[in-house]
């Protein structure tokens, strides 16, 4: 047994994406372990595209749109392959107390891509199709998540069972609202679409109140190790930012429906509250990030979690810009522009980290394959 352990060749550790791209016959664990939260890549790329578009950086916005369409199709392809070949593993993740919420990135990614089509292209039919697809995905995945955490046993402790990923329930719900408002003028039942968007806006707000209470309780009364303060916690701010964006779009839609006009003071107050709370989170999250890396000595190694850091930065820029447009608070425009630049820069760093991980994995795999080929007798 010892001789086997010494002489056997050990394959290199796969990177998150590259392991999923590995042929199934070569590694049964690669595609089977593909993380569902990778759709945060489409969330981040899509919202950064919109943020830079609002600042007039049209070419960059279009390039990111093309990249996002490609990423979305590739991620769906990998997910469907995983379902076909490793269905039991995928369903286990879907019904897992910790991993189930990560599937909600599919909903948010779908709707953010739909927002890109609605804002950046004339293809409104695609935006509408993505909205309807997002609603179906949201209904299936969100109720699965809430059912799982309710009925599955045994349950983990609060310290082990909750993190920033749970706030994807807010992000997914608010993304339905945001895209619905954008496509509502082009639907036959405009008022019905606006009512549904208003309802999901309010439901997402309710989810945030529930989950952020639990998350703050964990932060304040349980020990937080640096490695546990993952980039997912930036969704604490991102969830408020997307609620701000949805509220700003509702404010701009008040001319389309008398009910929204009657609710304008209410919507304005809530939207300003969400923006102020999102702004409050930013310094704290920066402090925690610095403490995590400098004091906790956590190295920056690419993982799909980092797209959950990029998304809130881009969303804060877009939300701030649209809030300024909806309220006339034009002094907020420089802040939106600054965060658009920061979001684009951080997106570039994380994207290069992903590419570097892919290249390194392919090189290591290539060397392993060559060293595994038996030498021919002369």
Please write the tens of the pLDDT for every residue from 185-200: 999 999 999 999 999 9
Give the Cα separation of 79 and 81 in Å (integer): 5
Which H or E run contains 281? helix 264-290
Contacts of 274 by beta carbon, 8 Å cutoff, 6+ apart: 205, 240, 241, 243, 244, 247
pLDDT recorded at residue 113: 97
Ordered domains of the chain (ranges, CATH)? 34-355 (1.50.10.150)
CA contacts within 13 A on the Cβ side of 82: 25
Q: What 3-state DSSP class applies to 190?
A: helix
Residues 6+ apart with CB under 8 A from 292: 226, 227, 229, 298
d(C-alpha 339, C-alpha 324), whole Å: 14
260 — pLDDT class (breaks 50, 70, 90): very high
pLDDT over 60 at 11, yes or no: no
Q: What is the pLDDT of residues 156-195, one digit of tens each?
A: 888 778 888 999 999 999 999 999 999 999 999 999 999 9
The full DSSP string for 319-350 is: HHHHHHHHH--GGGHHHHHHHHHHHHHHHHHH
- pLDDT greater at residue 239 or residue 358: 239
Q: How confident is the model at residue 53 (pLDDT cuts 50, 70, 90)?
A: very high
CB 329 within 8 A of CB 323: yes
326 and 260 Cβ atoms separated by less than 8 Å: no
Q: 238-248 in b/e burial notation, b at 16+ Cβ within 10 A?
A: bbbbbbbbbbb
Rounded Cα distance between 28 and 108, Å, is 29
Tell whether the model's pLDDT for residue 359 goes beyond 70: yes
Sign of CA dihedral 217, 223, 226, 230: negative
Single out the residue of 348, 350, 345, 324 nearest to residue 336, CA to CA: 324
* Secondary structure class of 371 (helix, strand, coil): helix
Write down the pLDDT at residue 370: 62
**Confidence at residue 369, expressed as pLDDT on a 0 to 100 scale:** 57
Structure confidence at residue 82 (pLDDT): 92
Judge if the upstream peptide bond of residue 154 is cis by omega within 30 degrees of 0: yes
Mean pLDDT of 296-309: 87
CA angle 259, 265, 267 (to 5 degrees): 75
The pLDDT of 66-95, averaged and rounded, is: 93
What is the predicted pLDDT for the residue at 129? 97
Closest to 191 (Cα-Cα) out of 266, 258, 126, 243: 258
Under DSSP, the state recorded for 55 is T
Burial (CB count <10 Å: 0-12, 13-18, 19+), residue 88: exposed
pTM for the model stands at 0.88
């Amino acid at each position: 047994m010892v001789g086997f352990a010494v002489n056997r060749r050990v394959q290199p550790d796969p990177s998150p994406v590259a392991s999923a791209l590995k042929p199934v016959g070569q590694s049964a664990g690669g595609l089977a372990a593909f993380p569902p939260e990778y759709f945060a890549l489409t969330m981040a790329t899509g919202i950064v595209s919109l943020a830079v578009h609002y600042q007039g950086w049209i070419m960059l916005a279009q390039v990111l749109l093309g990249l996002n369409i490609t990423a979305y199709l590739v991620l769906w392809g990998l997910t469907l392959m995983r379902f076909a070949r490793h269905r039991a593993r995928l369903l286990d993740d879907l019904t897992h107390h910790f991993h189930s919420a990560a599937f909600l990135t599919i909903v948010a990614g779908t709707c953010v891509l739909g927002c890109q089509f609605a804002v950046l292209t004339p293809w409104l039919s695609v935006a509408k199709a993505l909205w309807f697809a997002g609603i179906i995905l949201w209904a299936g995945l969100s109720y699965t998540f809430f059912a799982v955490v309710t009925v599955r046993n045994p349950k983990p402790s609060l310290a082990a069972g909750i993190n920033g990923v749970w706030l994807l329930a807010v992000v997914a719900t608010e993304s339905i609202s945001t895209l619905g408002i954008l496509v509502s003028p082009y639907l036959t039942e405009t008022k019905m679409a606006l009512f549904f968007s208003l309802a999901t806006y309010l439901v997402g707000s309710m989810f945030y109140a529930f989950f952020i209470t639990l998350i703050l309780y964990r932060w304040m009364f349980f020990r937080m190790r640096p490695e546990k303060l993952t980039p997912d916690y930036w969704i604490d701010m991102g969830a408020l930012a997307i609620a701000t964006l949805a509220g700003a779009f509702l404010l701009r839609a008040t001319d389309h429906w008398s009910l929204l006009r009657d609710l304008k003071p209410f919507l304005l107050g809530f939207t300003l509250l969400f923006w102020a709370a999102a702004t409050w989170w930013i310094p704290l999250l920066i402090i925690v990030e610095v403490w995590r890396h400098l004091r906790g000595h956590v190295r920056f190694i690419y993982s799909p979690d980092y797209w959950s850091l990029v998304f809130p930065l881009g969303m804060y820029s877009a939300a701030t810009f649209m809030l300024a447009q909806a309220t006339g608070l034009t002094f907020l425009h420089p802040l939106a522009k600054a965060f658009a630049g920061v979001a684009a820069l951080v997106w570039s760093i994380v994207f290069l980290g992903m590419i570097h991980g892919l290249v390194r994995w392919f090189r290591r795999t290539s060397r392993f394959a060559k060293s595994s080929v038996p030498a021919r007798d002369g």
